[in-house]
Structure 1
Amino acid sequence: MLTRRKFLNQSGSFALGGLIFSKFAEEGFFPGKKMSTPIGLQLYTLGDLMITDPKGTLEKLAAIGYREVESAGSQKGNYYGYKPKEFAALVKGAGLHWRSAHIAGAPFTMDQVMRMAKTAEDSARIQKMMEKFKDRPKTANLKENYQQIADEAAEGGISYVVCSSIPVHTMDEIKTAVDVFNKAGEACKKNGVQFAYHNHTTEFDDVEGHRPFDYILSNTDKNNVKMELDLAWATKANQDPVALFKLHPGRFPLWHVKDLDKTNKNPAEVGTGIVDFKNIFANAKESGMKYFFVEQDGAPQPLQNVANSYAYLSKMMKS
């Protein structure tokens, strides 16, 4: 395992854009002081690092101070080319907890994916993502393989299975999503795992007189189907996360802690943009939050970016 001391001593050899990790250690941003909730990371933020060097990358996360991780689909499948039990062992060996897994809700057509874009920047980001995954072998999704995924979650010992995305642009798609979520939620429950759904901005659009976010929450079992609220996408959709907590108290055990830059509302390092984290965290109890994961889509310097986000959150949570 890469210890904090070794990480600090070796940091000069890492391509981290000149970030000086010893500064973080001096200012108390590394583990040592109690925090109410461990800071987690959505591994999608790291891009290809989880393909090229998963072990070393996880060890660097632990050295920064992260303690929880949430996996995401990759070019090598849902668990980076590992079986669930193997990936769990890899994460544990790095000093981390594999808490949650993002799984696709259903196969998407290119048209369905592009309908998620709100701006030209969104379109470019989505096209770049699709290009990366175009040659990926077909992997299990919740619509077609919910029982398999629930079983894999139990095998890996994780607490949550999260639907990363699913088409919700028509009422037929929304009703299909509700059916998938109720089935997946029941299967996960039987395996001792909690199911949840991760939002983007499209869940807050008007679809034939309905808002997908409300329809899904109203038509799924509140105990079997929870939400992972992406704070940035909710904010970008002109939603107040705290108002959502009050509307559906206890329904949000997971958060994606993501920021949006002040210029064009693209994903940014936590604490540098427009999301009101202090107010949101002050209302964590009402939301039912148990774990949260830093995320930055398309992070230009992933390890440096997640270290900066960790530093901000660590300081904020101790103030």
Structure 2
Amino acid sequence: MQRRQFLQQSSALAASSLFLPSLGAWEQAFTSKPLGLQLFTLFQVIDQDVPGNLKKVADLGIQELESAFSFKPMFYGYSGKDFKSLTNSLGLKWVSHHVMGAPLKPRPGFDVSKMPKFLTLKTDSSQIIDNVAEAGISYLVCANIPIESKTEVSEAVEILTKAGELAKKAGLTFCYHNHDAEFKEIDGQRAFDVFSTQISSDILKFELDLGWANKAGENIVELFKKQPGRFPLCHIKDFDADYKNIVPVGQGIINYKPIFEAASIGGLKHFFLEHDMPKDAFESIRLGKSALDKIL
């Protein structure tokens, strides 16, 4: 009886397999992308209790991390190896790190006089790259750089090219992170177009901030088609109806479904939730993850 049942079940399984997709397609259909968090979401919060706040992040179901600058030295007061050890112990994968391209220029809501001195690619590229390479993570990202004139954009090309070459030698993938300004025409040019045409894709990829690009009116799917595979990282944020305020993902107006459907064209591998200066960072993360779980 057992032998007959086994043969019957085996025959049924073999027959049913004729109607199933290949194993690779089957796995792809049921594999979700791990959701990450850009830790700038916790700016001025994380430094108060780095291990405790990272545990809260892990408990919310976040799987990957992208670090940023903080009020503490190095990586939130840790060496690269120690910070990686901490994140690993919490079940988090540290993937990427943000740095500034040049000394910080004032932004609304920021009192620069109270900010610590940050390392920048313009002045400290070798030290930054050594620190990130020693940490054993894969990506280094320029978070911002002055681009308000042709002169600044030209200088930015020099800084990014040098950093990209050094990063490649160190085994890192170097990316540039946009805001909306990169898609605005200044002196007859857009900084994004200059960076993408004048700097080789071999040394510069992009971390596309999908929220800021949407605010700028950019067609992201078409952008992916123009430069396929050049966008390994992305930021996911949301805006209210008139793009004046950042809100938790899923609470705003951006439709992410068609963007994620084209993710393979752009080369997206890592998806980082981000909310600049939220009123309640952990509630924003919870809401954003809940919304993204349905489409990511």
- TM-score, structure 2 as length reference: 0.87
Equivalent of 2:88, from 86, 89, 92?
92
The number of equivalent residue pairs is 268
Deviations 1:172-231 (A, max 9, x none): 111111111111111111111100000011111112111111011101110110001111
Q: Residue 16 of structure 1 aligns with which residue?
A: none
| Alpha-carbon offset, residue 302 of structure 1 | 0.7
What is the aligned-residue RMSD (CA, Å)? 1.6
Contact 2:103–2:118 (Cα < 8 Å) also in 1:
no
Unaligned 5+ segments in structure 1 are: 1-33, 114-125
Is 1:151 the counterpart of 2:147? The answer is: no
1:259-278 → structure 2 map (5 Å cutoff): 259-278=238-257
* 1:272 alignment partner, SS class: coil
Structure 1 letter corresponding to 2:52: G
Contact 2:215–2:243 (Cα < 8 Å) also in 1:
no
Q: Distance in 2 between matches of 1:240 and 1:189?
A: 30
Q: Residue 215 of structure 1 aligns with which residue?
A: 194
- Could you say if the C-alpha distance between residues 35 and 65 of structure 1 is closer, same or farther in structure 2, counting changes exceeding 3 Å? farther
Q: Residue 231 of structure 1 aligns with which residue?
A: 210
- Could you say if the C-alpha distance between residues 257 and 78 of structure 1 is closer, same or farther in structure 2, counting changes exceeding 3 Å? farther
Q: Residue 116 of structure 2 aligns with which residue?
A: 137
Q: Distance in 2 between matches of 1:208 and 1:108?
A: 22
Contact 1:59–1:95 (Cα < 8 Å) also in 2:
no
Structure 2 letter corresponding to 1:243: E
Contact 1:44–1:72 (Cα < 8 Å) also in 2:
yes
Equivalent of 2:33, from 32, 37, 48?
37
Contact 2:235–2:271 (Cα < 8 Å) also in 1:
yes
| Alpha-carbon offset, residue 48 of structure 1 | 2.2
- TM-score, structure 1 as length reference: 0.81
Q: Distance in 1 between matches of 2:94 and 2:158?
A: 27
Equivalent of 2:59, from 57, 63, 66?
63
| Alpha-carbon offset, residue 264 of structure 1 | 4.2
| Alpha-carbon offset, residue 86 of structure 1 | 1.8
Structure 1 letter corresponding to 2:209: D
* 1:273 alignment partner, SS class: coil
| Alpha-carbon offset, residue 136 of structure 1 | 3.1
Q: Distance in 2 between matches of 1:155 and 1:309?
A: 32
Equivalent of 2:280, from 286, 294, 301?
301
Q: Residue 164 of structure 2 aligns with which residue?
A: 185
- Could you say if the C-alpha distance between residues 253 and 103 of structure 1 is closer, same or farther in structure 2, counting changes exceeding 3 Å? same
Find runs of 4+ consecutive structure 1 residues off by over 3 angstroms: none
Deviations 1:74-124 (A, max 9, x none): 1224521222222112211221011000100001343xx4xxxxxxxxxxx
Q: Distance in 1 between matches of 2:242 and 2:197?
A: 35
* 2:189 alignment partner, SS class: coil
Q: Distance in 2 between matches of 1:161 and 1:61?
A: 22
Structure 1 letter corresponding to 2:261: A
Q: Residue 176 of structure 2 aligns with which residue?
A: 197
1:246-265 → structure 2 map (5 Å cutoff): 246-265=225-244
| Alpha-carbon offset, residue 46 of structure 1 | 1.4
Is 1:83 the counterpart of 2:79? The answer is: yes
Q: Distance in 1 between matches of 2:217 and 2:244?
A: 11
Structure 2 letter corresponding to 1:192: G
Contact 2:101–2:122 (Cα < 8 Å) also in 1:
yes
| Alpha-carbon offset, residue 257 of structure 1 | 0.7
Identity within the alignment, %: 42
